Amino acid sequence: MAIPDTVYVQVKVGGVAAPYVTSIQVKSKVNSSRTVTLKVADDEGLTQLKLGSKIEVNVGIGTNTWINFTGQIRMIQPGNPSTIVATDYIHNLRTSENIYKRPQDHIFSDLYYAAKDACNISEIDTTRLTVGANLNTTPDMPLWGWQTRKKFLDGCISLMVEPIDDDDHPENTYLPWYYAIHYDNVMDFFQPDHLDSNPRSLITVSEAKQNLINESLTSSISTDTLINSCTVISQQDEATYYTYEDSDSIQKYGEVSKLIKWDSIDRNVLYEVARRNVERFKSPSISYAVDVIMNEWLPLGSLIELDIGDKSVVLPIVESSLTIDNGVVASYTVGEPRISFANLTKLLIEEL
């Protein structure tokens, strides 16, 4: 097994080139660490690979660099060949010291910058996080207390869901933010918009374009996250509640209900929480997995147009994998950005 001559792979550990790498796989997923798995064919190459060592991986074809990865070695499995697993520095946020977050630390500041603060460790570059989300923190958000940096980051990101109300988007459009390290150690917050009436897709995948590998397109339609009836009860007074239902969804899929307790006695707030959950989850979730022939590597959040029979859909990349051994296979999972039930119930309701 050997890496094709058309592909260049450069691996450095502690600044020194690592020899005898025979295959590489890079996996990415929104709101998670990138993971690089290497196969090393010789014990001599294995001797310089130590747990915790800084590792740099560059992958490309011709003059195009596809992967620029910086991280740490997390696992070494000796063998023939040996397996090396490394993650980027988002992993360090998960294993960070616990920090105590108080409402007064970020009160009425942008959630975007509160999330940026969670990433403030020496290994991660946050200098490009300058856009803002215009979604403010409030004291009643479930963000405060002792926690790791990643837990606080995930809490902020879960609340960074923007309702869109304009002529370019369907009714009840919600666009969430995500985070990932796409390049080196540079953190990125991004908000894919596949629901715009004129979305800008980067590539079209279809049999006609001859970039679909062996009919690899598979779809997944699930009702696991479906909610079409939601009752929100005041934590302060259980006699104060609101139930919101979608009769069309109930007729199609049967009633699927959820119960939420919310820290408010305002029935308008309880109504809005219930409505947003039902409107977001009243339909099944749809995702597609596809292996493609690529001339370039697409980062998470990029929009792909899929030609499916007599229709086409534009969806963002939420997971990806690049595998290089005897050949090169790029795999993408695209789908409607999934906001979990628990996360959407935490959504800041700006107008109330």
Separation of alpha carbons 98 and 269, rounded Å: 33
d(CA 159, CA 123): 25
CB count within 10 Å of CB 307 equals 16
CATH number, position 236:
3.30.1920
pTM, full prediction: 0.81
246 with 214, same domain? no
Identify whether 258 is part of a domain: yes
Q: In this structure, what DSSP letter does residue 153 have?
A: H
Single residue among 64, 87, 110 that ends a domain in this structure: 87
CA neighbours closer than 13 Å in the CB half-sphere of residue 185: 18
The total domain count for the chain is: 4
Q: Are residues 216 and 329 in the same domain?
A: yes
How do the pLDDT tens digits run along the chain, 352 residues long? 456 667 788 889 888 887 778 889 999 999 999 999 998 887 666 777 789 999 999 988 777 788 899 999 999 988 888 899 999 999 999 999 999 999 888 877 899 999 999 999 999 999 999 999 988 888 878 888 999 999 999 999 988 888 888 888 887 787 889 999 999 999 999 999 888 888 877 777 766 666 666 666 677 777 777 899 999 999 889 999 999 999 999 999 899 999 988 888 899 989 988 887 888 788 887 777 777 766 668 899 999 888 776 777 888 999 999 888 877 888 888 886 544 544 444 443 333 3
Say whether both 204 and 253 belong to one domain.
Answer: no
Indicate if 28 and 146 belong to the same structural domain: no
Give Cα separations from 307 to 121, 169, 208, 229 (angstroms). 42, 21, 9, 34
CB 211 within 8 A of CB 242: no
Domain that holds residue 300: 193-222+285-336
- Look at residue 348 and tell me if it is in a domain: no
Which of helix, strand or coil describes residue 158?
helix
Name the nearest CA neighbour of 28 among 349, 350, 339, 302: 302
3-state secondary structure at position 260: strand
In a domain, 352, yes or no: no
User: Are 178 and 82 part of one and the same domain?
Assistant: no
Residue 281 burial (10 A CB sphere; 0-12, 13-18, 19+): buried
- Dihedral sign (CA 49, 55, 61, 67): positive
Q: Which pLDDT does position 349 carry in this prediction?
A: 36
Kindly state whether residues 72 and 115 are assigned to the same domain: no
Q: What is the largest CA-CA distance in the chain?
A: 71
Instruction: In whole angstroms, give the CA distance from residue 51 to residue 33.
Output: 17
Q: What is the pLDDT of residue 294?
A: 64
Both 130 and 244 in a single domain? no
In this prediction, residue 154 carries a pLDDT of: 93
CA angle centred on 202, ends 200 and 205, rounded to 5° = 115
Residues 126 and 198 in one domain: no
Query: pLDDT, tens digit, for every residue of 130-175?
Result: 999 988 888 878 888 999 999 999 999 988 888 888 888 887 787 8
Q: Is the alpha carbon torsion for 205, 208, 211, 213 positive or negative?
A: positive
Query: Do residues 201 and 185 share a domain?
Result: no
Task: Return d(Cα 70, Cα 271) in angstroms, integer.
Answer: 46
Q: Which 3 state secondary structure label does DSSP give 223?
A: coil
> Phi, psi at residue 295, to the nearest 5°?
-100, -10
Asked if 183 and 200 sit in the same domain, the reply is no
| Dihedral pair phi/psi, residue 270, rounded to 5° | -60, -40
Query: What per-residue confidence (pLDDT) applies to 286?
Result: 76
pLDDT reported for residue 153: 96
Q: Which of 196, 167, 176, 182 is nearest to 133 (CA)?
A: 176
**Residue 272: helix, strand or coil by DSSP?**
helix
* Residue 210: predicted pLDDT: 62
Residues 185, 98 share a domain: yes
From the list 90, 31, 130, 133, the residue with the least C-alpha distance to 337 is: 31
Residue 45, pLDDT score: 61
236, 277: one domain = yes
DSSP H or E run through 337: none
DSSP 340: P
Q: Within a domain: residue 341?
A: no
Domain CATH for 299:
2.40.30
Do β-strands 229-234 and 257-262 pair in parallel, antiparallel, or remain unpaired? parallel
